[in-house]
Structure 1
């Protein structure tokens, strides 16, 4: 039986030194993976990841996720190679289509094809294949190769996606699929069936593809304050992912009001509209006991990894400390 992992997801909004401190604390408390989000207009994930690689010895590290529309596959190959070298082989490759790229004028045509071909190009470059590649979106001319040594030719691949097409792609080529912005156990069997289609097409064992669910997390001994903060934090993500969850049944009028307030920059007011039962589908929040119960429900549903996302608590250090000392010990993995 595969033992579930617990991950920590960090936003690229911190100062130099903060990432190393938080990563050391997370590793000491027994976290298995630390991810850095690749969200638009935040720090690129590579800087935080390299800082954490130097500060840790055991945890796996990766960007969740990079996208091939704003970052060319040869650059993605270079970034994951740098992280893998700096961490001694603890990097994973995280790819997703990306969100909010319209704000910077970047279109995202044929996302599934782009993701599949980006992964192909990255692994050809890391593996030293100079034979060339001509895809529908990306290409490598024969003789094109990296001009530096890499630590591993094939760090594991995580695809960030919700939909059937992306999940089937994960079933064909990925080691893990991450459903970002969800804490909903009912999504686990939905994603498993979507992944199954791709796995069966290529003869892969479904059990070899790990399902990862991660979401905004706010834990504190003051559970009411934690849940109030979580409502504000989750509002802008709810506007993006709510319609992707076929089990959630988010009322259309509620979602429209949340989106209107988010677009107006009033995340607090938007979050105040989110009822408690809906909050629990899209965020981990409350006391350590409440957060542990949410995570345990995902583990019981069969996820390979639960990822506790930013901001973790009412403050970064307090949140990571409570997750490590008061939540992780309650989990049966």
Structure 2
């Protein structure tokens, strides 16, 4: 069987006015992007709003949230939203699930997160295929005869699990079509994630290559490479403390995370970003000129990812970043 072509995706934050998503989506599809993702970050617009707008403005690209979680949204509601997106896009939806982050800020606990994720996927599958039987899980359940009372485009949609850790990756190996490592542009993570996924895929008799590995991170591209990298440093500073401990292949300078975190807490994001060395920046963001960003993405493609996802803010402005990614980065990639 021939190797699958690597997809290139665009990840969008849900912080824009109505109409902006349609414009960016049309530009991205015309440029040749394969997938459009909307992040499900706490206190931003619900992903379904921009996704439905983009579905109406496109005809080819796959669309999905990365990621929804079962603690702030019930599984039956997740099923309904993804069914609506699949209808609106005529069968181009995918579903991203993750345990969620920072939910303590809204008073939500996250008990048994792996069980909750696995059972959420089961409930969504149950409802999309119109199974009238009962579902009894340890966290979630459906009474017999509980059905979605409207048309579904498909009886199933592709499932992505967002995870870095060994247990989450093993879960993806058992049940998912893709696993996304968010906040990473590091090719050295690809074999690490593949080995973690294989624990789960082996347990259920799947080929590990059935689970596509997706890496995505902050992206800032501009013909002024230094300006792009300076902006990327500021962006990375705000999440370095979250992702640095998750990557076992990276050794950071002593005290870097603490000092960056101290400056970010004081509102001095730009100063925090200036502390991040070039090699660390390149592990956690795509940044620089189109040639530099393409070279970073190519390393991931060569490492065997199924998809590279260029995340917000894309450039010094969203529109310019999407334009450069489509016109000058994509043509340089061999996939």
TM-score above 0.5 = yes
- Of 71, 75, 78, 1:76 maps to 78
Question: 1:77-92, aligned counterparts within 5 Å?
Answer: 77-92=79-94
Range with greater deviation from structure 2 (304-313 or 242-251): 242-251
1:168 lines up with 2:170 in the alignment:
yes
Note the alpha carbon deviations across 1:38-58, whole angstroms, 9 max, x for none: 001111100000000000000
Range with greater deviation from structure 2 (230-239 or 220-229): 230-239
Rounded Cα–Cα distance in structure 1 between residues aligned with 2:261 and 2:77: 34
CA 1:315–1:124: 2 relative to 1, 3 Å: same
Aligned to 2:240: 238
Rounded Cα–Cα distance in structure 1 between residues aligned with 2:34 and 2:150: 29
SS state at 2:68 partner = coil
Range with greater deviation from structure 2 (224-233 or 235-244): 235-244
**Shift in Å, 1:242:** 0.8
Rounded Cα–Cα distance in structure 2 between residues aligned with 1:325 and 1:198: 39
- Of 299, 303, 306, 1:304 maps to 306
1:292 lines up with 2:274 in the alignment:
no
- Whether contact under 8 Å (1:243, 1:250) holds in the other structure is no
1:224 lines up with 2:226 in the alignment:
yes
SS state at 1:194 partner = helix
**Shift in Å, 1:107:** 1.2
Aligned to 1:207: 209
1:33 lines up with 2:35 in the alignment:
yes
- Whether contact under 8 Å (1:171, 1:197) holds in the other structure is yes
Using structure 1 for the length normalisation, give the TM-score: 0.98
Rounded Cα–Cα distance in structure 2 between residues aligned with 1:259 and 1:190: 27
SS state at 2:310 partner = strand
Aligned to 1:279: 281
**Shift in Å, 1:132:** 1.2
Note the alpha carbon deviations across 1:123-160, whole angstroms, 9 max, x for none: 10111112111211111112211111111111000000
Rounded Cα–Cα distance in structure 1 between residues aligned with 2:101 and 2:264: 15
**Shift in Å, 1:252:** 5.1
CA 1:116–1:252: 2 relative to 1, 3 Å: farther
Rounded Cα–Cα distance in structure 2 between residues aligned with 1:284 and 1:165: 27
Using structure 2 for the length normalisation, give the TM-score: 0.98
What is the number of residues matched between the two proteins? 333
Rounded Cα–Cα distance in structure 1 between residues aligned with 2:179 and 2:284: 17
Range with greater deviation from structure 2 (231-240 or 197-206): 231-240
Residue segments in structure 1 that go unaligned for 5+ positions in a row = none
Aligned to 2:7: 5
**Shift in Å, 1:265:** 3.0
